[in-house]
Structures are given as structure tokens and as C-alpha cells.
């Protein structure tokens, strides 16, 4: 488990994870290249969409972003400090990843700002070039931007860093 001690955004859990084959019910936030208009200005949506397209083109993987709640309503305490167990936010992120068109070739950045949770979920094939360690370093960098209140910057920076790591 990786963490950050920034004053405004302190993730309770930041880590990368493998995907599982579970399905998730449809939610109100978007997964993929369509950036929700209610969360971002038009210029922010363009920056994120451009970063997603560039990441896809540079790596051959499909990158997606989810911003929204990662709580499982069936659990009272959806966030725990135990890094070894499969906590509900991680399980929800894995289910979202499994819904993508080609999960084995996809990477999902799942951000729950209200819960202070950030998950990077990699598919079977993407995991060969994006290790847990490299995703953990990206997550720490993203947490720093989130601590400063820059959600768009965190997403764009995270995507650029993941592309750099995938090229190695």
C-alpha cells in the first residue's frame, strides 16, 4: 500500500491491481474516452481526451478513466487499512475494468475523490509492460496532483507517466 501525507488529498489507499473477471452494474460515471461533462470544463475534457488518445496510440493499449464513487453499497466500511485484502473500492475498480471492451489490453485509472481512493487496474497483457511497482510510482505522482486539487492534471500526468513506463 502506498500513501501520501498531503494536506488536502490524502489517499487512504493507492495501489495498482490486476483485473478480475467480474461484472459491474451500470453507474452514473463514465468509463473510457467519453469524459463526463459535469465533472470537467470543456478545456479539461479536451486535455483528458487528448491524453487518452495519445496513450492509446503510443502503447497499443486502451487507457480508460473512471472518476466517481468506488464504494460497494453492500459493505458498511468500504475502505480499510488492510492492503492485502480485496477491499470493495478495489473490487469495484476491477469490475469496471472487466467491463471494458478488451480488458486484457486495457488500463483503468479509477479515482474516487470523495473517498480519497486511487486505483490503477491493469489487464493481463498490459501487466507485462506496466508492473505493480511502476504503477505505484505513477499513483504516488497522481496523488500529489490530487492533493493540490488538480484532478485534470493528475489524470493527464498519470497517463503520460504510464505511457513512459509502458515503452520501457
Question: Which pLDDT does position 143 carry in this prediction?
Answer: 93
Check whether 110 has a pLDDT greater than 70. yes
Max Cα-Cα span within the chain: 41
What is the set of domains in the chain, with CATH numbers?
Answer: 13-167 (3.10.310.50)
CA separation for the pair 105, 127 (Å, rounded): 9
pLDDT, one tens digit per residue, over 120-151 is 999 999 999 999 999 999 999 999 999 999 99
pLDDT, one tens digit per residue, over 27-41 is 333 344 455 557 788
pLDDT, one tens digit per residue, over 36-91 is 557 788 899 999 999 999 999 999 999 999 998 887 555 444 344 444 444 578 88
pTM, rounded to two decimals = 0.72
Give the rounded percent of residues in the chain with a pLDDT score beyond 90.
53
Of the two residues 72 and 112, the one the predictor is more confident about is: 112
Distances (CA, A) of 8 to 44, 66, 89, 95, 161: 21, 21, 20, 28, 23
**Backbone angles phi and psi of 16, in degrees to 5:** -100, 160
Amino acid at each position: 500500500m502506498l500513501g501520501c501525507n498531503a494536506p488536502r488529498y490524502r489517499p487512504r489507499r493507492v495501489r495498482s491491481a490486476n483485473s478480475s473477471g467480474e461484472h459491474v452494474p451500470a453507474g452514473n460515471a463514465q468509463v473510457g474516452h467519453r469524459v463526463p461533462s459535469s465533472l470537467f470544463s470543456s478545456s479539461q475534457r479536451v486535455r483528458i481526451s487528448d491524453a487518452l488518445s495519445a496513450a492509446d496510440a503510443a502503447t497499443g493499449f486502451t487507457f480508460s478513466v473512471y472518476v466517481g464513487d468506488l464504494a460497494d453499497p453492500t459493505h458498511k466500511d468500504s475502505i480499510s487499512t488492510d492492503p492485502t485484502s480485496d477491499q470493495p473500492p478495489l473490487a469495484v475498480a476491477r469490475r469496471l475494468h472487466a467491463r471494458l471492451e478488451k480488458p486484457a489490453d486495457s488500463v483503468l485509472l479509477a479515482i474516487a475523490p470523495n473517498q480519497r481512493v486511487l486505483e490503477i487496474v491493469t489487464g493481463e497483457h498490459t501487466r507485462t509492460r506496466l508492473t505493480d511497482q511502476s504503477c505505484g510510482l505513477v499513483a504516488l505522482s497522481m496523488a500529489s496532483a490530487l492533493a493540490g486539487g488538480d484532478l485534470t492534471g493528475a489524470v493527464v500526468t498519470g497517463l503520460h507517466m504510464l505511457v513512459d513506463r509502458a515503452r520501457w
